[in-house]
Amino acid sequence: MNRSLVIVATVLAAAAPLSSAHAKTTMRGPFVFTCSGDPEAALSVTFLGANANRAKLVFKGETVMAKQAMAASGARYVAKNIEFWNKGDDAMVEWRGAKLNCTTHN
């Protein structure tokens, strides 16, 4: 009985680092963009997932999770009534009908 308990404890201890490594979400950011047309409102972007396949967008107190979509160049993320295109330090955002050109200096 004790031997079985020791074996189970050893297996669990060995597996713990692996399971915690997979549990972590890869995150880059947040990056803060200043947008023309509304210089008072900053756009915060945090890229999520091992391949940055999601983005958390925060604009004027509203948080939206967007999914990566096809783009000819750069990265593009979409959610309902929201699109975010990013290439380098520049971005274009369409937020519920408002179109903004943005830049970051992170």
What pLDDT score does 41 carry? Answer: 76
Q: Find out whether 73 and 83 touch, Cβ atoms under 8 Å.
A: no
Task: Report the C-alpha gap between 14 and 11 in whole angstroms.
Answer: 5
Helix ranges (H only) for the chain are 2-23
Residue 39: is the preceding peptide bond cis (ω within 30°)?
Answer: no
Run of H or E residues at 95: strand 90-95
Q: Averaged in consecutive runs of 10 residues, what is the pLDDT profile of the chain (106 residues)?
A: 38 40 72 83 91 93 95 91 94 93 85
- Determine the CATH number of domain 25-104: 2.40.128.200
Domain boundaries, the chain: 25-104
Task: Report the C-alpha gap between 104 and 46 in whole angstroms.
Answer: 13
Query: Please, what is the Cα angle at 32 between 83 and 91, to 5 degrees?
Result: 40
Predicted structure pTM score: 0.72
Nearest residue to 104 (alpha-carbon basis) of 48, 63, 45:
45
